[in-house]
Amino acid sequence: MGRKFVVGGNWKMNGNKSQICDIVSFLKTGPLNPETEVIVGVPAIFLDYVRVNLPENIAIAAQNCYKVAKGAFTGEISPDMIKDVGVNWVILGHSERRQIFGETDELIAEKIAHALESGLKVIACIGETLQEREAGKTEEVVFRQTQAIACKIKDWTNVVVAYEPVWAIGTGKTASPQQAQEVHRALRQWFCDHVNASVGESIRIQYGGSVTAANCKELAAQPDIDGFLVGGASLKPEFVNIINAKQ
């Protein structure tokens, strides 16, 4: 059986109840390809509201969680809190968490491990900056980030990896389908070599660099691209076209 195409929409720090109603409306109208798994990443304060209003065929993800179950960690949320409002996914390791908030490979790996142990599914983000790409360090960086996760977890069943070239997020730039496929293929081979061949074949790897309705079909046609993690476009009706990229 092939890998199921999975499209995530990361709303980031955007939206209010009125805007969320608009998003829910176009997602309900669709139509959405029933063969594609759809997940939306929602600001923590709206997780419960979105769960109540969104159709059951669309999963919901928190955009972050901490590495322990509870305690004196002001402003953080735990996997158990996320599960308590009926949400089953979390996005961890996003480039903005790494670049803006200084999260290290080790912290992200610890957070992923705890989320999985707590029963959440995880979209684990990796990716290189423009400087790293221009220095020819793309594979070095994404392999290092992935290895940190591999040191903390053994079971990859509930992990989706999102490769997001940082230089192509919110810039309007995008890796060509061939460039994206090259990194995805290298990552799949890394899993075969450093985890096992079964994980290498089954792990789903999303592409997360400025995916739009205009380029999604060509990207989706690449053999090692198993979906997308979309930012700003997930707030707009074109998100439906991106969900339906794989026909």
Of the candidates 112, 125, 121, the one whose C-alpha atom is nearest the C-alpha of residue 67 is 112
CA dist 212 → 40, 100, 206, 239 (Å): 16, 24, 14, 8
94 is an active site residue: yes
- Reading the block at residue 134, the tokens are 């221009």
Contacts of 112 (CB under 8 A, 6+ apart): 92, 93, 122, 124, 149, 152, 153, 159
Contacts of 3 (CB under 8 A, 6+ apart): 202, 203, 204, 226
Phi, psi (rounded to 5 degrees) for 242: -70, -40
164 is an active site residue: yes
Do you know the residue count of the chain? 247
Which one from 94, 96, 114, 184 is the annotated catalytic residue? 94
Which one from 37, 110, 164, 238 is the annotated catalytic residue? 164
Q: What share of the chain is helix, strand, coil (3-state, %, to 5)?
A: 45, 15, 40
- Reading the block at residue 202, the tokens are 């089954």
**Catalytic residue numbers?**
94, 164
